[in-house]
Amino acid sequence: MKKIVVLTGAGISAESGIKTFRDSGGLWEEHRIENVATYDAWLRNQELVLEFYNQRRKQLYECAPNAAHFALAKLEKKYDVQIITQNVDDLHERGGSTKVLHLHGELKKSRSTVDENLIYKINGWELKKGDCCEKGSQLRPHIVWFGEAVPNIVTAVKLSSKADIYIVIGTSLNVYPAAALLNYVPNYIPKYLIDPNGSEVAGIRNLTVIKEKAGKGLPELVKELTL
Ligand code: APR
């Protein structure tokens, strides 16, 4: 089976009602990133950080996967599909995709502040001050904050270098190290970028830019690839 590796960003979840990060009216508009999405913010004001992610999580429960998520699940009938996502939502999983690597963490999980290997599912939408891991320490959102290491990038690089086809969807390719993954895909491999604001990427060959929303562009591409 040929291997398709898919790199997704906030744009694939936009049509599910989840705001992207950098569009006007986006997720960060009312918040300075350094106040809610850094380790320093966590040290300064745990309540504010917990509340920011509680609201994101609450919203996620009200959202459903869209045509793009479902199209990726359908692609598994013909290909070995590996998704690498920058998104912290679970819409790929709920859309039926079976292999999803989260680069920036997962909204519905919490993590111990003394042992990064202790990761838990959050029941419901709230993580509160006083919620502790089995070692008695405060739980934090299982999110990779700005300035923190991205442990799954090593696996993502390996997966990207082994792709037979590479598809990038709905990411501004602004945030590293995720943005550099395209550089590890061999030159001769066919690559697609689906994003209404997409454009050629410097140094990347064999890239077809599809300037469409994911909900339209992706089902069309999947149809073409599964003919
Ligand atoms: N379909 C496809 N793409 C879309 C759609 C859509 N319906 N709507 C918007 N987009 C595109 C935008 O054109 C933009 O290029 O999605 C992209 C969203 O870019 P960003 O908001 O920068 O999101 P992303 O690239 O995922 O951000 C990366 O940065 O803020 C951090 O950790 C956060 O994971 C996030 C990372």
Q: Which residues span the domain enclosing 121? A: 19-62+109-143
Q: Tell me: the pLDDT tens digits for 87-125?
A: 999 999 999 999 999 999 999 999 999 999 999 999 999
Q: Which of 143, 166, 200 represents a domain boundary (last residue)?
A: 143
Q: The domain that contains 2 carries what CATH number?
A: 3.40.50.1220
Sequence letter at residue 11: G
Q: What is the pTM of this model?
A: 0.96
Of 185, 201, 203, 221, nearest to 71 (Cα)? 221
**What is the end-to-end Cα distance of the chain in Å, rounded?**
15
Q: Do 134 and 162 share a structural domain? A: no
Q: Do 173 and 158 share a structural domain? A: yes
Report the 10 Å Cβ neighbour count for 158.
10
Q: Do 213 and 173 share a structural domain? A: yes
Radius of gyration, alpha carbons of the chain: 18
Q: Do 127 and 84 share a structural domain? A: no
Enumerate the β-bridge partners of residue 166: 5, 191
How many domains does the chain fold into?
Answer: 2
Q: Do 182 and 77 share a structural domain? A: yes
Contacts 24+ apart (CB under 8 A), 198-205: 201/173
> Ligand 1 atom 17: the closest Cα is on which residue?
171
> What values do phi and psi take at 172, rounded to 5?
-75, -5
CA of 22 to the centre of ligand 1 (A): 7
pLDDT by position in tens, the chain (length 227): 999 999 999 999 999 999 887 776 666 767 888 889 999 999 999 999 999 999 999 999 999 999 999 999 999 999 999 999 999 999 999 999 999 999 999 999 999 999 999 999 999 999 999 999 999 999 999 999 999 999 999 999 999 999 999 999 999 999 899 999 999 999 999 999 999 999 999 999 999 999 999 999 999 999 999 99
Count the alpha carbons within 13 Å of 66 in the hemisphere toward its beta carbon.
Answer: 21
Q: Do 191 and 133 share a structural domain? A: no
Token digits for 126? Answer: 């709230």
Q: Which residue has the tokens 């950098």?
A: 22
Sequence-ordered alpha helix ranges (H) in 91-213: 91-95, 153-161
Q: Do 159 and 212 share a structural domain? A: yes
Q: Confirm whether 31 is a catalytic residue.
A: no
Pocket test for ligand 1, best of 8, 13, 20, 84 (most atoms within 8 A of CB): 20
Q: The domain that contains 31 carries what CATH number?
A: 3.30.1600.10
Q: Do 51 and 2 share a structural domain? A: no
Residues 171, 85: contact at Cβ < 8 Å?
no
